[in-house]
Structure 1
């Protein structure tokens, strides 16, 4: 379905697409960049994008960025995920950077935001072994000490911590009237004493980590925002996180659809292309229609957020995240089925796309949590 984009945005999309085709357009190129698919981030490629000014697309101009809104950011995310560019560090970097921009000190903002523009990676850590969807159950503690805090506890599922400069870590600094009271955000350098980062092997490769904090001292200057108000700060960033994940997965869904379409046009059985059989033709039609709907939803929510950047679009952002992640999983599964045995072969890449989408309905708030949020906005 045609999209109405300005000439400037159309040129941006075209330039990113051309870059991805040149630099990571073949499986051989991607294997070389990712250690045969085990690594999800290539720092050299990432820094080349930084040199082109793309990583700072949503960073304010005073910190060296382009100062664009979420529409332009989501265009970049879609095109790089469609192009299979191995820059997994960017998503968490943008989420963390937005928190520093809103709540950090000037020193924190300069360190992080200027780092983003120059190709540095940031991570964010909320989940713990006993606290996933229920963020209010966090148990990792930060106790007051002379001139700072001492942190003890374990965090888990922390994406990109193993190559990030800092981790935006949420810990409990006190107990209030509710379980969401007393949470504080900290800027934790990944090389600080008392922090151990240990990778978790997953079906998607080397991407997430356990964090072990043992008497990890952080000075008062490491606090991001107001102590004890970490929950409100987290809520302020949910629009962005959900839109980032929606854009990334919509790009993957588009890629899976196009790869499937190419295959069913070329693959012949019983003397004709398999896409000409009604059973596949109608599935392609349904997938194309759902993609168009998801694109319209994402574009519309982006436009609304850019028009009112201070407003929280809880319902709409959750809808976008739910729709795009569930659709990406569906299309990659359909693609694998339509490609038959070749869908399972690493040579064709559909299995890798499937592995990248399955987890998207879990991280950043599960699909069940998104449905719960949407339902609550209707007073249910």
Structure 2
């Protein structure tokens, strides 16, 4: 994998801004996010006709890696770019202009799929959308919806029919975040309250709220999995690198028995192994990103799942090893290592657990 001169300049510019203004403890800083949008970075991978830069998956991965490494508080980006891609593929011209254009300008979008009884098994969802008076009425609950509390738009996946298999009868809907009948309630987690429960109570949507085709929600979701898994992998690649950087800085300075602890073979070899694993992750992420850019319509279930699995598991290992090498300081709230641990632990759960990724990879081999 070799970045172009323009992509290298992009990476350097993002890294420099993050060095000056990153490192914040909050998950999403709207001022910084819109500043990045004004620079054209949020729309780096979006179509030019809607305010983007017509870049590709490699450009998105560059941005994600550098912002995560720089700890930029722009948590709204990941769901926004996933939602924007769904609208690019399936939205009406009006929906594309509204949502993709809004994301390019710095608005946040969220997606609502999971339910209390439908997590890894998304096809088991029961939140219903019923036709009524020429429109749709939504009733049900969604959960673990990242960034819904700061979103302008929510892309909802709801059941419109119970006929056929469980993956039939699902439909995507465009839901303005201020819609009557929608209640957003934060869920307290180890990482804060960036995920939410959504309650739909007779939430009325117009007929043209459908994104794509009625009953085609599952197929449409599958079409976006390359992007989702790569986005999560690229972000965790940056977090893994930052956890490594922080550990390296610590072991170079921390002295015990008269010398820096990084000079002890036990520490030096652990860092060598972690550095090698991170570089393997980087090569995998950007290789899969190149495959996506070669043919954006091609599904890459094996490769995208491999990237998500390998990078998130590696990031978790790097953070836990970093905490161990930093001793008590790695556990202290005044240092960032505890934050790296919390964010990497959950990365192996959201967006499809590591177990689900392994199952998908296995199935691509006919198992």
* 1:310-349 paired onto structure 2 within 5 Å: 310-349=297-336
Counterpart position of 1:81 = 68
Cα deviation, residue 176, structure 1 = 2.5
For residues 119-138 of structure 1, what are the structure 2 equivalents within 5 Å? Answer: 119-138=106-125
State yes or no: 1:277 paired with 2:275: no
Aligned mate of 1:21, from 4, 19, 38 = 19
Separation (CA, whole Å) in 1 of partners of 2:302 and 2:164 = 27
Corresponding residue number in structure 2 for 1:4 = 2
TM-superposed deviation, 1:280: 0.8
1:24 Cα shift? 2.1
Structure 2 spans left out of the alignment, 5+ residues:
none
Distance 2:27 2:38 in 1: 20
Residue 56 of structure 2 corresponds to which residue in structure 1? 69
Equivalent residue for 1:198, pick from 185, 194, 204? 185
Distance 2:2 2:186 in 1: 42
Q: Could you tell me which residue of structure 1 aligns to residue 354 of structure 2?
A: 367
Q: TM-score, normalised by structure 2?
A: 0.99
The alpha carbon displacement at 1:118 in A equals: 0.7
CA shift, 1:64, in A, is 1.3
Partners of 1:282 and 1:251 in 2: how far apart? Answer: 22
Deviations 1:350-377 (A, max 9, x none): 0011111111100000000000000000
Shift of residue 304, structure 1, vs aligned partner: 1.1
The answer to whether residue 155 in structure 2 is matched with residue 157 in structure 1 is no
Counterpart of 2:96 (choices 106, 109, 124) is 109
Secondary structure, aligned partner of 1:199: strand
Q: Would you say the 8 A contact 1:64–1:117 is kept in 2?
A: yes
Give, in whole Å, the separation in 1 of the partners of 2:335 and 2:329.
Answer: 7
- How big is the shift at 1:317? 0.3
Q: Report the secondary structure of 1:143's partner residue.
A: strand
Give the superposition deviation at 1:305: 1.0
How big is each residue's C-alpha offset from its partner over 1:323-365, in whole Å with a ceiling of 9 and x where there is no partner? 1111111100000000000001122210011111111100000
Superposition misfits of 4+ residues, deviation over 4 angstroms = none
Q: Secondary structure at the match of 2:99?
A: helix
| Bigger mean CA offset, 303-312 vs 76-85 | 303-312
Match among 222, 246, 261 for residue 248 of structure 2: 261
Question: 2:359, 2:44 → 1: CA distance?
Answer: 32
Write the distance in 1 (CA, Å) between the matches of 2:216 and 2:165: 12
Question: Hey, what's the Cα distance between the residues in 2 that align with 1:80 and 1:65?
Answer: 18
1:8-54 per-position Cα deviation (integer Å, ceiling 9, x unaligned): 111111100110111125xxxx2xxxxxx3x4101011000011110
RMSD over equivalenced CA pairs, Å? 0.8
Structure 2 SS opposite 1:177: coil
The answer as to 2:105 corresponding to 1:118 is yes
SS at match of 1:169: strand
What is the aligned length? 367
Report deviation, 1:5.
2.1
Quote the offset at 1:221 in angstroms.
1.0
Matches of 1:112 and 1:4, distance apart in 2: 32
Distance in 1 separating the partners of 2:69 and 2:324: 20
Normalised TM-score (structure 1): 0.95
- Residue in structure 1 matched with residue 78 of structure 2 by the alignment: 91
